[in-house]
Amino acid sequence: MQIIGEKINGTRKLVAKAITERDASYIQNLAKKQVESGAHWLDINAGTHPSREPDDLIWLIKLVQDVTDVPLCLDSANPQALQMAMKEVKQTPMINSISGEPSRLEGVLPIVAEHGCPVIALCMDEKGISNTADERLQVIQKVFTETRQAGIPDEHIFVDPLVMTIGTNTEAGNIIFNTMRLIRREFPQAHISCGLSNISFGLPVRPLINRTFLVLAIEAGMDTAIIDPTDRSLQAAIFAAELLLGKDRHCLNYTRAFRAGKLEIALEKSG
Ligand code: THG
């Protein structure tokens, strides 16, 4: 399982404040904590202010690279910001994201192709997000036609089926699991990723819903996730799920995690 750390996101209040005030140590702490907790990539989102985004993104990239060695996942739809960011990164970053929307394909796909970046591809187009797994597959099939034409190998594509809120549509979970199964079958070389937190929006005990959703998604074929890597019960659930799905030879990762004290959170007195 590849973990993309979600915490450096300018749509979060305290991160937005740190960006505005140029509070370097707040951002660098978020980076260090996530990497120590096992993040393989760090998502970097400078917020949604178009005129400030390029400068803010560059500032974030430099800070994070000063304290960690993991590759970055540049969370931006702005081709100018991405173009500038490509000059600053020390390692090839993942790009978050393209979709079936023509403007995204035109603006971002050439950058992805030129630099050989892995890229997250959202299952949506200019008509929005469909409510059926079949239609989400159709949308992503069109995206694969474009990425293949641009010479991007399928294994560089991280398909994101786009998680919606279970509170407003109780099929939102099934739509995701079904879409993941279809993608696994149709594009076996591609990765499957998603952001979890939308699933539980508006409901109580969100961490419980998020980690149960994550386990079911792993079973449906997900191999990458944008999560809070410092959430220890989420990490513990990943170790157990991969163990149970035959993805942990000789139970090595699970027992190692246990010895490192990473599973204690799941130990509860049974009376
Ligand atoms: N798909 C793709 N990219 C994405 C998303 C997706 N990027 C943004 C988002 N969704 C994933 N990132 C976040 C980042 C922060 C939070 C949720 C998703 C978040 N944080 C809470 C907060 O800020 O209060 C709680 C966690 C915390 O405190 O650290 O909700 O779906 N491709």
Is the per-residue pLDDT at 244 higher than 80?
A: yes
Nearest-atom index, ligand 1, CA of 226: 11
Burial class (CB in 10 A: 0-12, 13-18, 19+), 24: middle
Pairing status of strand 72-75 against strand 157-160? unpaired
At residue 152, the pLDDT reads 98
pLDDT of residue 112: 98
List the residue whose alpha carbon is closest to atom 6 of ligand 1: 195
Distance separating alpha carbons of residues 254 and 237, to the nearest angstrom? 10
CB 79 within 8 A of CB 57: no
CA atoms within 13 A on the CB side of 121: 34
Give the closest residue (by CA) to ligand 1 atom 10. 195
Distance CA 32, CA 39 (A): 10
Contacts of 86 (CB under 8 A, 6+ apart): 93, 111, 115
Cα dist from 7 to 70, 115, 122, 183, 231, whole Å: 14, 25, 20, 27, 11
- Mean pLDDT check: name the lowest of 20-24, 83-87, 92-96, 264-268: 264-268
Query: How distant, in Å, are the alpha carbons of 15, 49, 105, 205 from that of 54?
Result: 16, 9, 19, 36
Output DSSP code: residue 222: -
Mean pLDDT, range 122-149, rounded to an integer: 98
The pLDDT mean for the chain works out to 96
Count the Cβ atoms, other than its own, within 10 Å of residue 22. 11
| Sequence-distant (≥ 6) Cβ neighbours of residue 116 within 8 angstroms | 92, 156
CA dist 190 and 179 (Å) reads 13
How far apart CA 104 and CA 6 sit, in angstroms, is: 22
**Total H helices, total E strands in the chain:** 10, 8
| CA 7 – ligand 1 centroid, Å | 7
Out of 3, 9, 157, 206, mutate this one to test ligand 1's pocket (max ligand atoms within 8 Å of CB): namely: 9
Ligand 1, atom 24: nearest CA belongs to which residue?
12
State the pLDDT at residue 123. Answer: 98
173 backbone dihedrals φ, ψ, rounded to 5°: -70, -50
228 CB within 6 A, ligand 1: yes
Percent of residues, the chain, with pLDDT higher than 90: 96
Reported as a pLDDT band with limits 50, 70 and 90, residue 266 is confident
Is the C-beta atom of 120 inside 6 A of ligand 1? yes
pLDDT for position 226: 98
pLDDT at 90: 97
Each residue's pLDDT tens digit, 169-206: 999 999 999 999 999 999 999 999 999 999 999 999 99
Q: Which atom of ligand 1 is nearest to the CA of 97?
A: 32
Tell me the three state secondary structure of residue 232: helix
> Token match 């690279």: residue?
65
| Domains of the chain, CATH where assigned | 2-230 (3.20.20.20), 231-271 (no CATH)
Rounded to two decimals, the pTM is 0.96
Residue 226 alpha carbon to ligand 1 centre in Å: 7
CA proximity to 139, closest of 120, 156, 126? 126
